[in-house]
Structure 1
Amino acid sequence: MKIVLLERIERLGRMGDVVSVKDGFGRNYLLPQKKALRATAENIAYFEQQRASLEEKSKDLQVKAEAIAKKAAKVNLLVIRQASEVGHLYGSVTSRDITKYLEGHHIDITHTQVRLDTPLKTVGVYDVKLTLHPEVSLFIKVSIAPSEEEAKKLLESPDGVFKKETTAAPVETIETEHPGFPEENVADLGEELSAN
């Protein structure tokens, strides 16, 4: 399917580009989201008439996104979640969770603007990408810890990796003779098996 892009789309093109995409991607995502028009002669002519207003609208949205980005760049999110002894969360932290925590800092974005490949399932410090506009994106720090004390330790550690402090008892080594086969019997058994 050939389409005309109404805005810049990552890995696809800029506003006004005529590109070819798979039918499902065009029908199910780009056209309903009003990010593109079918590349017919009428739609291309319509786009050229509307180009100036679309560019102005995009610039306004970019200015708003840059203002949100300045605010978000100052934020370090702290997410307190229950976790196991080794740092695995009971549950996960998703893009919707991060959006709710950002709302607590008066940063209003949608969960689709938070870019996570997979939900976060372990304790640690993560760089999470926010894409606020096709031209504006940034990374914020998200710290996930089981308690505020652990979060402070996590932020102080140079690698941002969860390390549970444990007091382990010294390990004793006990040498015993293995009651299994003596070595010569094992060699004889190997010869018997190869002969059969």
Structure 2
Amino acid sequence: MDIILTQDVERLGNKDDIVSVKEGYARNFLIPQKMAIAATATARKVMEENKRQRAHKEARLREEAQKIADKLANKKVSIGAKVSSSGKIFGSVNTIQVAEAINKKGFEIDRKQITLPSDSIKEAGTYTAKIKLFKDVIVELEFDVVGE
């Protein structure tokens, strides 16, 4: 029996794949668990249309992310923190402060999109953060941690 997977199934396939399985496996497990639907002619047409629309939407999102990445590429952000005489920060700098500094420059970046070289930064200096704007659009942004 041919089925269309509605989600990733381990050792069987990924979402929107058309696979052949035994009829009992499809009717007794996959279809009742909402992991698959029967691959009828209409279901195949609907799946192809959904794939086409998803690809169009994804291309538009990737294009927007690339525009933001181009604008962010040469920017440098400065983050102020209270620093001791030895250069150590009282507290730490994390993704929240980096996101706030980037947003002040006019970009809408969520803190969950930012990856720092370590979990938190505890010394003044220059660091590089990776910002994931889309699945494959990642931009590196330099930022300075300076004493106030």
Q: Say whether the fold is shared (TM-score over 0.5).
A: yes
1:4 aligned residue: 8
2:83 aligned residue: 83
Q: CA shift at 1:112, angstroms?
A: 0.8
Q: CA shift at 1:134, angstroms?
A: 0.4
Task: Structure 1 unaligned segments of length 5 or more: list them.
Answer: 6-16, 20-37, 148-196
Which of the pair is proportionally richer in strand?
Answer: 2
Q: CA shift at 1:4, angstroms?
A: 3.3
For the pair 1:71 / 2:71, whether they are aligned, the reply is: yes
Query: Where in structure 2 are the equivalents of 1:179-190 lying within 5 Å?
Result: none
Contact 2:83 2:90 in 1 (8 A): yes
SS state of the match for residue 86, structure 2?
coil
SS state of the match for residue 108, structure 2?
coil
2:22 aligned residue: none
Alpha-carbon distance between aligned partners in 1 of 2:38 and 2:132, rounded to the nearest angstrom: 28
2:92 aligned residue: 92
2:55 aligned residue: 55
Query: Where in structure 2 are the equivalents of 1:13-32 lying within 5 Å?
Result: 18=14
1:140 aligned residue: 141
Q: Aligned in 2, Cα 1:62/1:39: closer, same or farther, shift over 3 Å?
A: farther
Contact 2:7 2:36 in 1 (8 A): no
Deviations 1:35-89 (A, max 9, x none): xxx9822299665441111111111111110111111112101111111122111
SS state of the match for residue 4, structure 1?
coil
Task: Structure 2 unaligned segments of length 5 or more: list them.
Answer: 1-5, 16-32
1:12 aligned residue: none
SS state of the match for residue 18, structure 1?
coil
Between structure 1 and structure 2, the one with the greater Rg is 1
Letter in 2 for 1:90: F
Q: Aligned in 2, Cα 1:82/1:70: closer, same or farther, shift over 3 Å?
A: same
1:131 aligned residue: 132
Residue correspondences, number = 117
Letter in 1 for 2:14: V
Contact 1:81 1:146 in 2 (8 A): yes
Superposition RMSD in Å: 2.7
Q: Aligned in 2, Cα 1:40/1:105: closer, same or farther, shift over 3 Å?
A: same
Comparing both chains, which one has the higher relative contact order based on Cα–Cα distances under 8 Å and sequence gaps of 6 or more? 2
Normalising to structure 1: TM-score of the pair? 0.53
2:106 aligned residue: 106
1:193 aligned residue: none
Q: CA shift at 1:140, angstroms?
A: 0.6
